[in-house]
Amino acid sequence: MRHVASLTALVLLMAALTCHAEEVSLKHQGLIISANLETVGQAWRQKPLVLITHGTLAHNRMEIIQALQNTFKERGYSSLAINLSLGLSERKGMYDCAIPHTHRHTDAIDEIGRWLDWLKDQGVTSVVLLGHSRGGNQTAWFAAEHDDAIIRSLILVAPQTWSEHYAAADYKKRFHKALAPRLAEAARLVKSGKAEQMMKGIDLIYCENTSATARTFLSYYNDDQRMDTPYLLQRLNKPVLVIAGSEDNVVADLIGKMQPIADGKRVQLVEISGADHFFRDLYIDEVVDSAVTFMEAH
């Protein structure tokens, strides 16, 4: 028994020695952006690496992102979890609603591209793009506009859906105000060349009574079909796996919207029974198991 225990300890030690975690920083459009790189083995550059983008106003060390990186590492896959700048240099943690908003939904698309270029510079030859929630939409949007050969496939975990009606209804429910007047105001400012004018006392995403530029407000609320991830999937050439939780009340219409699109071939849908929007605890194992099966099939 002692021999078995010693052998097990040695195997675990050797596995630990082949894993490496590192915070990486880059300069991007006058800002410093960062990411957490988790590598497995000396030849990690030759295996598919998972590039992970977090959700709305969140960060790359939130529970679901850490759990994804740790579980992928256990399965032998390296990953890079990026931290979107949201217009701030060296940003950490959740976005502080007291800080005026100058970021846009589409800023993430440029930042995903910046990190993909960095991975190429490191010698990585194959990347799987993964996004959670809003990050899932931004990931799909990036792939729809950049059909890069290094991108092997996409895994979208509870990705954002969108409709003009739902956006207005959600705004009314959350803030007890109509969206249309503020959206019209933002559109007038942008059209008159005042896109960077700060709109004060405005409600934006999860932030009540905050400040945001007209361009920012329009970016998050203007009716654009590309904000709806199922719409984007029809423009992709890469294999796509969408993972949905049966108890997700954040993107509650995802399964219904995906069912007509998921053909089981290029676009696959996996529904995890009992999971909510964040796939806590053992549900994350089901997410990664489904992801790994998909990755190894493509």
Give me 180's structure tokens: 């249309």
| Amino acid identity, position 281 | D
CA dist., res. 4 & res. 2, Å (int): 5
Which one, of 36, 56, 28, lies nearest residue 136 by Cα?
A: 56
Element counts in the chain: helices (H) and strands (E):
10, 10
Q: Report pLDDT digits (tens) over 188-217.
A: 999 999 999 999 999 999 999 999 999 999
What is residue 18's predicted lDDT score, i.e. its pLDDT?
A: 78
Q: Please say if the pLDDT value at position 127 is more than 90.
A: yes
Percent of the chain with pLDDT over 90: 92
**pLDDT band at residue 19 under the 50/70/90 scheme:** confident
What is residue 79's predicted lDDT score, i.e. its pLDDT?
A: 98
**Pairing of the two strands 31-40 and 19-28:** antiparallel
CA distances from 134 to 228, 250, 257, 263 (A): 10, 11, 16, 23
Q: Please say if the pLDDT value at position 5 is more than 70.
A: no
Residues 131 and 67 sit within 8 Å (Cβ to Cβ): no
Residues 277 and 248 sit within 8 Å (Cβ to Cβ): yes
Q: Which residue has the tokens 């550059």?
A: 45
Query: What is the mean predicted confidence (pLDDT) over 222-230?
Result: 96
Q: Please say if the pLDDT value at position 2 is more than 60.
A: no
Q: Please say if the pLDDT value at position 11 is more than 50.
A: no
φ, ψ at 297 (rounded to 5°): -85, -10
| Packing angle of the helix pair 179-191, 164-175 (nearest 10 deg) | 110
User: What's the distance, CA 110 to chain centroid?
Assistant: 13
Residues 187 and 220 sit within 8 Å (Cβ to Cβ): no
Q: Please say if the pLDDT value at position 12 is more than 50.
A: no
Query: What is the mean predicted confidence (pLDDT) over 241-246?
Result: 98
Which burial class, exposed, middle or buried, applies to 20 when counting CB atoms under 10 A from its CB (0-12, 13-18, 19+)? Answer: middle
**pLDDT band at residue 14 under the 50/70/90 scheme:** low
Query: What is the mean predicted confidence (pLDDT) over 255-282?
Result: 96
Burial 217-245 (b: 16+ CB within 10 A, else e): bbbbbeeeebbbbbbbbeebebbbbbbbb
Q: Please say if the pLDDT value at position 157 is more than 70.
A: yes
User: How many residues are present in the chain?
Assistant: 298
pTM for the full predicted model: 0.93
- Paired residues of 83 in beta bridges: 34
Q: Please say if the pLDDT value at position 9 is more than 50.
A: no
Query: What is the mean predicted confidence (pLDDT) over 92-104?
Result: 97
What is residue 87's predicted lDDT score, i.e. its pLDDT?
A: 97
Name the CA radius of gyration of the chain, rounded: 20
φ, ψ at 224 (rounded to 5°): -140, 120
Query: What is the mean predicted confidence (pLDDT) over 255-276?
Result: 96
